Amino acid sequence: MKYLRRYSFTLAFLALFLAWMWLRREATDQVYQLSGNTMGTGYTVLVTRFPDEVPDHELAEGIEQRLHRIDRELMSTYAPESELSRFNRAPVGQWMDISPELADVMAQAQTISDLTGGYFDVTVGPLVDRWGFGPLQEMADSSRIPTDAEIEQLRERVGYRHLEVNQQPPQLRKLHDVRVDLSGVAKGYGTDVIADYLESVGLDSYFIEIGGELRVRGVKPDGSSWVPAIERPTQGAPEVHDIIVHDGQSIAVAGSGDYRNYFEQDGVRFSHEIDPFTGRPISHDLAAVYVITDTAAMADAWSTAFMVMGAERSEALAQRLDLAAYFITKRNDGEGFDSRFTPQFARYLSNEDD
């Protein structure tokens, strides 16, 4: 899963770097940047103008207030008094009244869990922690690799089906001693909230990035659209692997990968992406995946799920559900990568024959 624990890899996009270059090349009074920190990462908002009725400082405050609410008040696992933290401490079997926002995110997460057969699971945190990738890092001093017995014990604390959510009225309860971590969807949800806010004040051209999750709409001052770039999944300086193009319509883009957040022990590489069924890091050949949808929350969740599922299962599901997905896989000889994508993604590529 992603979020605060993903301290190096966020989303394999160069979009933010490209946006900064555009900002430098164009007149500074035509593209405005607002940025800050949230959810253990950074955010950047680029707009082509400020609304006449909203001063720039009020726009910045509006963004900060909304992100603070999503993170610190609602969905943080670090803030002890957030709604999610209080739910994680709540007794098993007891319904807890929650905000409509948290109920919405939980409902979306449960939908993705159902559609993926459990490969997306917001309760996988204990396993992620034990492998040393989570905020608690519950690993023994002698070895970062848990024993088979430890894995089986921790798997008993994992299972999205132990959660029940109502949206009317907004309530949440757990039927087993599980802990929820919304790292695979919260940043995307925050991106959507900011997009809705910008549109509510009359802004129809923007670039929003929170920890790598993107919402873009409209065009830049020169008439061209914001163009995210897919990053080649290699170490070192980012390299462009492909370009995403669109005609200015609103799109959300999210990605996931295993090539920046991992550890090696005894010559074996262990990814931060944990399979909830095996309780172990993924070991397939999928290096990175990207998803384009209408909302960043869903793109965020789908990309996380697909990264755990692997290319074959993910591509089959994406095609069945008409999802725009792009997969980068490692070659068997270890030299380079291969790419494939669903027909729905092809229309967003600069050169679909590459």
* 3-state SS, residue 317: helix
Nearest alpha carbon to residue 290 among 229, 331, 335 = 229
Compute how many other C-beta atoms are within 10 angstroms of the C-beta atom of residue 353.
5
pLDDT tier, 274 (very low <50, low <70, confident <90, very high otherwise): confident
Summarised one tens digit per residue, pLDDT across range 79-118 is 999 999 999 999 999 999 999 999 999 999 999 999 999 9
Residues 6+ apart with CB under 8 A from 72: 79, 82
Least confident of 123-127, 130-134, 263-267, 277-281: 263-267
Residue 104 domain-assigned?
no
Q: Which range among 5-19, 270-284, 313-327 shows the weakest confidence by mean pLDDT?
A: 5-19
Pairing verdict, β 32-38 and 213-217: unpaired
Question: Quick one: pLDDT at residue 13?
Answer: 39
Give percent of the chain above pLDDT 90: 58
Is residue 1 a part of any domain in this protein? no
The answer, yes or no, to whether residue 283 has pLDDT greater than 90, is no
The rounded distance, in Å, linking the Cα atoms of 174 and 14 is 39
Strand positions, DSSP E, the chain: 32-38, 41-47, 96-97, 163-167, 170-174, 206-210, 213-217, 229-231, 240-243, 251-257, 262-265, 268-271, 274-275, 280-281, 286-293, 324-330, 337-341
Structural domain contains residue 162: no
- Domain of 256 in residue numbering reads as 15-52+204-346
pTM of the model: 0.86
Number of H-type helices and E-type strands within the chain: 10, 17
pLDDT in tens, 17-27: 344 334 433 34
Distance CA 38, CA 74 (A): 13
What pLDDT does 284 receive?
A: 83
pLDDT at position 214: 95
Whether 65 is in a domain gets the answer no
Query: Is 190 a member of any domain?
Result: no
Neighbours of 159 (CB within 10 A): 18
- Number of structural domains the chain divides into: 1
Give all strands of the β-sheet with 324-330 in edge-to-edge order: 32-38, 41-47, 206-210, 213-217, 251-257, 286-293, 324-330, 337-341
CATH code, domain carrying 292: 3.10.520.10
User: What's the pLDDT score for residue 271?
Assistant: 64
- Asked whether residue 316 is domain-assigned, the answer is yes
Q: Per-residue pLDDT tens for 35-65?
A: 999 998 999 999 988 777 777 789 999 999 9
- For CA atoms 301, 62, 167, 125, give the dihedral sign: positive
Q: What is the pLDDT of residue 301?
A: 97
Cα separation of 344 and 177, whole Å? 40
